[in-house]
Structure 1
Amino acid sequence: MTTVPTEFDATIHPAGAELTPLAEYLAGVLRGLRPLPALDLDLTQAYGNVLAEDVHAPGPLPAFDHAAIDGYAARFEDVVDASPSRPVRLNVIGDLGAASWRPVRLTPGTCFSIGSGALLPAAADVVVPVHATDQGMAAVEVYDSPPRRGFGLRRSGDEIPAGALLARAGTYVNPALVALLASCGIGHVVVRPSPRAVIVATGDELVDVGRASQPGQLVDANSHALTAAAAEAGAHAYRVGICDDDPEGLRGLLEDQTLRADLIITTGGTGVGPGDMVRRVLSRRDGQRPPVRFTDVSVYPCTSLGYGNVPSMAGAEGVPVVCLPGDTGAALIGFEVLARPVIQVLAGADPVFRPSVRAHLLETIKSPSGLREFRPAYVAERRGGGYTVAPLAGGPYTLSGLAEANGLMVLGERVTTAPAGSTVDVLLLDRRR
């Protein structure tokens, strides 16, 4: 049985602390966000962005009746009785390739040699595959009848009729959608641009990767991890690096980054200790602008989150900023619960949250009371339907668990023990994008 150390519980959930429910907190944050302004982009540049408008087919797909295979375009009634013992003989009156454009018509007892993609002759209602014939040029013998009328061809509008909805607003443009839109003759789409996310790690103790942590020095894993997480979420992610615990330096850095950022993500300094510079600096009121608000949220292992706007010379509303904890595992959980939904809203994506499933728990686990725990987990499909989920390392060991996880098990605030065999919610982590 996996347990959570009790001494860690007291640290993250002090007695008497009032925590904001996660759903309430997220609703307040996301309600004040708006998607980025839409752009009209060439289809080749639209990949990875989110559609800002519904897209409808301007015409049918396929656009015209055509052969789906190489063979002989014929009338079904002429070849329906063909067999190896009694082949049917047809006169070949022409050759049609994919570049053929003049309309032609079949007469009884005739056929056209035809290539895949070629315009179908009028009156043709079947394409006899090459292997069912003697492959004749002036005349052809058909040894096997096609299985049905309409075999080997595609009719106009078979796949998509004119005016049909191809994709809804909020859909990510992926390679298959690019192919569908191009096939329908669409060369431009209106999309929301991918948000530009800037990631900043703060702390005098931080050193860059390439060395081991030692007393007084901690390797900055956070900015690298969060940059990767932002890119996985669909943002254009930029790692700024390390900012020392210097209030003026932080203010100047953030001001510079607002010129190229749609979202700023900081990590570290969100607590109430003497070294928590980010909270002290950003929670101060700047003129008429409300400060960044730091909230203790009922999330484990990431209770303290900051959200607000930092002033920008590029816009009156400023640039949204998300402030995450300094612990790497907690920062990644904080990214999942707050920063990722913010990126999705800015991108205009729908849905905003990751998909989830209900899964049967394979072993008993304990969870801190009063907190919604996001525990790394491995989820698998069960033979016969449904899912199973195995918990991985959580709590102070979340980072090692996340490295193996393909899901996040969600245990509610009132759950202190989840027994083996019970059903739990699991967010599915998409590691492919």
Structure 2
Amino acid sequence: MSSAATRTTGPDHLWTVDEHLEDILATVRPLEPIELQLLDAQGCVLVEDITVPVSLPPFDNSSMDGYAVRVTDIAGASEEFPAVLTVVGDVAAGRAEPLHVGPGEAARIMTGAPLPPGAEAVVPVEWTDGGLRDGPVTGMRARSQAPEAAGGQVQVYRSAEARAHVRATGSDVKAGDRALDAGTVLGPPQIALLAAIGRGTVRVRPRPRVVVMSTGSELVQPDEQLADGQIYDSNSFALTAAARDAGAIAYRVGAVADDAETLRDTIEDQLVRADLLVTTGGVSVGAYDVVKEALSSVGDEDEAGAGIDFRKLAMQPGKPQGFGSIGPDHIPLLALPGNPVSSYVSFELFVRPAIRTLMGLDDVHRPTTRATLTADKALTSPKGRRQFLRGRYADGEVTPVGGAGSHLVAALALADALIVVPEDVESVEPGTEVQVVLLR
């Protein structure tokens, strides 16, 4: 249950941004770990340290197509006076041939093939005549020819030091080394490493399943015809995309009409696939704010401890907010305002940290920095409210984008930062250093 229920605050209490966020993060808990196949674990957070069971590479191997040789046999070799060696056979990647390179001998070797006993270095095929009698050839041509029979010869035109073009055993990681730490987010490079050391499955916290729904009878889906008084539903698209960007598996539900029973039924239907529910719209004080109507009494119908608390926050945009849990499994629900900018800013401040907490990450917040305000005039902010203005950040400076209106979607699309104006500041002059939340 939300810890809000234990606070001695009345319905008129004005919550701070920090209080609301603290309440959310004190309630949301990381998801239980599960064992997943590697590709299914992409984007998930490890819950175990991974130790390397076998060195990488597991044997000395060639980094080039060429010839495995002894260093003394090619000392002083040149175009004018090449070293002439007897080819004792081929060593291909994936095949461990029983070859031994002795004095005056060489073995033709492919990239990734194990260095045969007796050999000390690999000379690239470009440094040789390719083992053919019609003169020097490129590596591509040499590889396209049929393997030279044992007893043929190769001319080497350059000398090489010991271990030249040889990938040493364990030069990547050694058996017993720590490959990945618990808490690591698994991206493509980490999955590659797990596969390379032989791990087919891994224990992780799953990506949270987030269900997003808009409310409002005025909302129409994109590509449909608008009637008078209707607008396109952008919030559910924006928040679903934002949830995926945060690391969640997100499901978008089409806009729900302003009917409390329909909304309750829709939410109940979605509980089976949700670790977190997000609604947008219907949380203010209007006559048709159905989210409050539908969910204010849900705790009376659910198991003890469930319920949604609707509150006012000392922030702009995003004053009306709702938070709590719903259903027998107490699925967290965050109810956001309906204005596009209000809902997006609220998502960044409250929903994204909740998603990252469910994932089991330690750092759940967007990075912040200090920047110099560049603007044509001073910024104004309502007293007692923490204001979040859209801005563009570059090279230690931030410039406001658009106005303070919470409906300005076009300005939001141009922003990559939020300019934070504290509650006790009513005006910010150009040239002032401000706090900035970096969105990208």
Scaled by the length of structure 1, what TM-score is found? Answer: 0.83
Could you tell me which residue of structure 2 aligns to residue 326 of structure 1? 338
- Seen in structure 2, the aligned counterparts of structure 1 residues 124 and 416 have a Cα distance that, compared at 3 Å, is farther
Give the Cα separation in 2 of the matches to 1:45 and 1:63.
27
The aligned residue for residue 294 of structure 1 is: 310
Deviation at 1:421, TM superposition (A): 5.0
1:58 counterpart = 2:53: yes
1:76 to 66, 71, 75: 71
Given candidates 12, 16, 24, the residue that maps to 1:21 is 16
SS at the partner of 2:279?
strand
CA separation of 1:350 and 1:79: change in aligned 2, threshold 3 A: farther
Indicate yes or no: 2:354 matched with 1:342.
Answer: yes
Match of 1:31 among 14, 22, 26: 26
**Cα distance in 1, alignment partners of residues 68 and 291 from structure 2:** 73
| Matched residue, 2:145 | none
Matching residue's letter, 2:111 = S
Deviation, 1:227, is 1.9
SS at structure 2 position matched to 1:286: helix
CA distance in structure 2 between the aligned counterparts of 1:44 and 1:277, rounded to whole angstroms? 41
The whole-number CA distance in structure 2 between the counterparts of 1:359 and 1:366 is 15
Contact 1:127 1:150 in 2 (8 A): yes
Aligned-partner SS, 1:230: helix
Q: Give the C-alpha shift of residue 35 in structure 1.
A: 1.7
Instruction: Give, in angstroms, the shift of residue 282 of structure 1.
Output: 2.3
1:10 maps to what in 2?
none
My pick for the range that moved more, 349-358 or 220-229, is: 349-358
Q: Which deviates the most, 347-356 or 326-335?
A: 347-356
Q: Does 2:134 match 1:120?
A: no
More deviation in 195-204 or 98-107? Answer: 98-107
- In the alignment, what sits opposite 1:351? 363
- Specify every segment of 5 or more residues in structure 2 that has no aligned partner in the other structure, as ranges: 1-11, 132-147
**1:102-123: per-residue Cα shift (whole Å, max 9, x none)?**
4544333322111001011234
Output the amino acid matched with 1:404: L
Is the counterpart of residue 305 in structure 1 residue 317 in structure 2? no
185 and 411 in structure 1: CA distance in 2 versus 1, 3 angstrom threshold: farther
CA deviation map 1:165-198 (0-9, x unaligned): 3223333322222222111111111122222211
Paired with 1:29 and 1:87, the residues of 2 have a C-alpha distance of 75
- Contact 1:367/1:373 (<8 A) preserved: no
CA distance in 2, matches of 1:123, 1:419: 76
RMSD (Å) for aligned C-alpha atoms = 2.7
**Residue equivalent to 1:49:** 44
Deviations 1:122-146 (A, max 9, x none): 3433211111112225222222234
Kindly tell me: are residues 75 and 239 of structure 1, through their superposed partners in 2, closer, same or farther at Cα, counting changes over 3 Å? same
Mean CA deviation greater in 153-162 or 136-145? 136-145
| Whole-Å separation in 2 of the counterparts to 1:32 and 1:248 | 27
* More divergent stretch after superposition (75-84 vs 112-121): 75-84
Counterparts in 2 of 1:361 and 1:59: CA distance versus 1, 3 Å: farther
Aligned to 1:101, which of 92, 96, 117? 96
CA distance in 1, matches of 2:341, 2:372: 25
**Kindly tell me: are residues 352 and 80 of structure 1, through their superposed partners in 2, closer, same or farther at Cα, counting changes over 3 Å?**
farther
SS at match of 2:272: coil
Question: 2: CA distance between counterparts of 1:174 and 1:99?
Answer: 28
Native 8 Å contact 1:254 1:310 kept in 2: no
1:399 matched residue in structure 2: 409
SS in 1 for 2:250: strand
Give the whole-Å Cα distance in 1 for the aligned partners of 2:225 and 2:239: 19
> Contact 1:355–1:428 at 8 Å: present in 2 too?
yes
How has the CA–CA distance of structure 1 residues 335 and 111 changed in structure 2, closer, same or farther, with 3 Å as cutoff?
A: same
Partner amino acid, structure 2, of 1:184: I
Looking at structure 1, the residues matched to 61 and 25 of structure 2 have their Cα atoms a distance apart, in angstroms, of 49
- Mapped partners of 1:54, 1:34: distance in 2: 21
Corresponding residue to 1:238 among 236, 245, 251: 251
Specify the alignment match of 1:160 in structure 2: 173
SS in structure 2 at match of 1:30: helix
Closer, same or farther in 2 for the Cα pair 1:215/1:189, shift >3 Å? same
Offset, 1:265? 0.7
Measure, in 2, the Cα distance between the counterparts of 1:200 and 1:72: 64
- Higher mean displacement: 77-86 or 251-260: 77-86
The letter for the 1-side match of 2:401 is L
SS in 1 for 2:291: helix
Q: What letter corresponds to residue 219 of structure 2 in structure 1?
A: L
Deviation of 1:208 (Å)? 3.0
Cα shift at 1:217: 2.9
Query: Which residue, 379, 390, 405 being the options, matches 1:376?
Result: 390
Which residue number corresponds to residue 208 of structure 1? 221
Task: Count matched residues.
Answer: 404
Instruction: Say whether the 8 Å CA contact 1:51–1:169 is kept in structure 2.
Output: yes
Q: Which residue of 1 aligns with 2:154?
A: 140
Match of 1:8 in 2: none
* Residue correspondence of structure 1 range 186-225 to structure 2 within 5 A: 186-210=199-223, 216-225=229-238
Normalised by the length of structure 2, the TM-score is 0.82
